[in-house]
Amino acid sequence: MSDDNGAADGAPAGDDADRPDDDPLTYDQARWTADDDRYEPLLSEKRTSEVEIGDGAPLPDDLTRDSLALPDPSEPELARHYTRLSEMNYGVENGPFPLGSCTMKYNPKFTEDVAALPSAAVHPDRHPDSAQGTLALLARLQDYLGRIGGMDAVTLQPPAGAAGEFTGILIAEAYHEANGEDRSEVIVPDSAHGTNFASAALAGFDVLELPSAEDGRVDLDALEAAVGDDTAALMLTNPNTLGLFERDIEAIADIVHDAGGLLYYDGANLNALLGRARPGDMGFDVMHYNVHKTFATPHGGGGPGAGPVGVTAELEPFLPTPHVRRDGGSGQYELAEPEQSVGKVHGFAGNWLVLVKAFAYIARLGDEGLADASAKAVLNANYLAEQIEYEIPFGPFHHEFVASAGEQDAADVAKRMLDYGVHPPTTKWPEIVSEALMTEPTEIETRRTLDQLAAAFDAVADEDDATVEAAPERTSARRIDQVAAARSPRLSWQALDDE
C-alpha cells in the first residue's frame, strides 16, 4: 500500500477541489431517462434474432426447438449495456462504502492481475505431483493466516464467512464427540452477527443468547451463569460489533474452558487486530477469517468467496478434507485427509482464485503493511467519529463505531446518504443502539474522503423529516421493495414477461 494511504482516493476533482470540506457533495446516479420507471432495457428487449437449431442435437425431438430468439447486440452495444448497468449501481469504486462489520474494502487491481496470470488457471483435478506450485501457494496462505490469527493449522476450504463458522462449529462438535462428550449448547452474545446464531443452529445446537453488559461488552456474571456441562462453545467477536475490545477476554476464556467448552472467534473482520494482537494468544481455539473483509478480495455478490478456518493443534485432526500439507520427509506438497476429519465442506481445496488474491494481498503488504492497515483502520474510524453530529453511545471503539440516528429512522438516513454519494453504513444493528448506524470507513479512505463522509452524515442529520423520508432522490432506482425482492424474487425476464 502506498504512503498516501491507498489507491482509492475519492477526493473530488476539478471545480469541486476548492469546496469547503463541510459542504456535502451531491451525487447523481446514471439514469437512462428522467422517467423513474425506465431502466436500461434487457438485452433481449433490445434486439434479437432467430437462430436456427440444427438437427444434430443429441436430445429427443420433443425436447428441442427449431429456432430460438437470442439477443443480438453488436460489441459496442454490449459494452455500453453493461457499462450503463454498472453506472446504475453503487460500489466501492463509485465512492466511500463505510459498511460496518461487513467491511467493504477497495480491491486493489494487482491482486486481479495475479489471479489472471495464465499459470493460475489450474484444473482442480490435476495430480498433486504436477501442481506443486499451486499447493505451495495454498500451504503458504495457510501459514500466513495461521500466523496472523495465532492458530496452529488452517483450512482454506470453506467458501464464505458463514460457511467458516459452520465448519468451525462442526469441528467443535467432532472434538467433543471424540472426547465422549455430548454437549448441546452454543452461547452467542446478543451483539453477535446473525450468522453466528444461524451456524450454530444449522449444526444442530441449541443457541443460548447472552445479554450484553451495560458497557456493551460480555457480562461476566451472565456468562458464569450460562456455561455448564452442555456448553460446546462460546462464539465471540473481538473487537465486538460495537467496535469495543473485550478487555476481559482472558477471564472469558477461563470461564469457558473451565466449563469444558471451546472458544470460537468470529474473525470475519480482523481490521483492528492485524499485526497487533492474535485471537490464538487471547485463548481462542477455533476461528474463521473473511478474506473479503480483511484481505481485500471482492465480496462475491453471491459468487466465489473464502472463509478459511484456523484451529489450535488439539483440533487439527478434525479439519475438513482434503487438507494441503507438506510432507516432512520428501518436502512435497500433498492433499491429505486429517484422521478425524469432519469431511468436505466445499469442492477441492477451496475457491482457488479468491485465495490467490488473498495471498497476493498479504504477501505484498507484509507484516508492516498489515500493521499499518490496522492502524489506519482504527485512526480513520476515530477521525470520522469525531467529525459527525450523531451520538455514539459506546466507546472507546476501534475499527468501527455505532452511531445512533436518534429521532430519525436509520433506514431513511441510509437512503438519503446515497444522494450525497456515500454508501450508507450498516443500519439497525446491533440492537443495543437505537436506530444504529454501524460505520467502518476502513484504512483505504483519505482524510478528504472522510471529510466528505462526515459532511454527508451531518447534512442528513440536519434535514427535515419529509426530505429524509422521501430519499433517495438522485439514484437510478429509488425505494425498492426489499421484502418482495427477498421473498418472491423474479429471477428471469420471462417472469416479467408473463405478467
Ligand X SMILES: *Cc1c(COP(=O)(O)O)cnc(C)c1O
Enumerate binding residues for ligand X (CB under 6 A). Answer: 101-102, 160-162, 193, 195, 237, 266, 268-269, 290, 305, 307
Identity of the residue, 101 or 351, whose beta carbon is nearer to ligand X in the bound complex: 101
CA distance 254 to 248: 10
Written as nine digits, the cell of 317 is: 485432526
Identity of the residue, 155 or 269, whose beta carbon is nearer to ligand X in the bound complex: 269
Kindly state the smallest distance separating residue 422's Cβ from ligand X, in Å: 20
CA distance 204 to 181: 15
Kindly state the smallest distance separating residue 433's Cβ from ligand X, in Å: 16
Kindly state the smallest distance separating residue 207's Cβ from ligand X, in Å: 15
Kindly state the smallest distance separating residue 29's Cβ from ligand X, in Å: 25
Identity of the residue, 198 or 375, whose beta carbon is nearer to ligand X in the bound complex: 198
CA distance 251 to 263: 12
Identity of the residue, 24 or 267, whose beta carbon is nearer to ligand X in the bound complex: 267
Identity of the residue, 264 or 333, whose beta carbon is nearer to ligand X in the bound complex: 264
Identity of the residue, 135 or 160, whose beta carbon is nearer to ligand X in the bound complex: 160
Kindly state the smallest distance separating residue 37's Cβ from ligand X, in Å: 33
CA distance 193 to 237: 8
Q: Got the DSSP string for 295-319?
A: S-PPP-TTS-----EEE-GGGGGGS
Kindly state the smallest distance separating residue 266's Cβ from ligand X, in Å: 5
17: left (phi over 0), alpha (psi -120 to 50) or beta: alpha
Give me the phi and psi of 393, to 5 degrees please: -70, -30
Kindly state the smallest distance separating residue 300's Cβ from ligand X, in Å: 8
Written as nine digits, the cell of 291 is: 478474506
Identity of the residue, 269 or 312, whose beta carbon is nearer to ligand X in the bound complex: 269
Q: Which long-range contacts (CB under 8 A, 24 or more apart) does 469-475 make?
A: 469/409, 469/412, 471/412, 471/415, 471/416, 471/418, 471/419, 472/415, 472/416, 472/418, 472/419, 473/419, 474/26, 474/27, 474/28, 474/29, 474/418, 474/419, 475/29, 475/90, 475/418, 475/419
Helix 132-149 vs helix 352-387: crossing angle, to nearest 10: 30
Among all residues, whose Cβ is closest to ligand X?
Answer: 161
Kindly state the smallest distance separating residue 101's Cβ from ligand X, in Å: 4
Kindly state the smallest distance separating residue 162's Cβ from ligand X, in Å: 3
Residue 77 near residue 48, CB atoms below 8 Å = no
- Choose among 4, 21, 20: nearest CA to 384: 21
End-to-end alpha-carbon separation of the chain, Å? Answer: 51
Identity of the residue, 290 or 476, whose beta carbon is nearer to ligand X in the bound complex: 290
Residue 364 near residue 430, CB atoms below 8 Å = no
Q: Interior CA angle at 196 toward 485 and 384, to 5°?
A: 75
Residue 101 near residue 426, CB atoms below 8 Å = yes
Question: What is the β-pairing status of strands 262-267 and 286-289?
Answer: parallel
Which residues face 371 on adjacent strands? none
Identity of the residue, 95 or 161, whose beta carbon is nearer to ligand X in the bound complex: 161
Identity of the residue, 192 or 259, whose beta carbon is nearer to ligand X in the bound complex: 192
Kindly state the smallest distance separating residue 191's Cβ from ligand X, in Å: 10
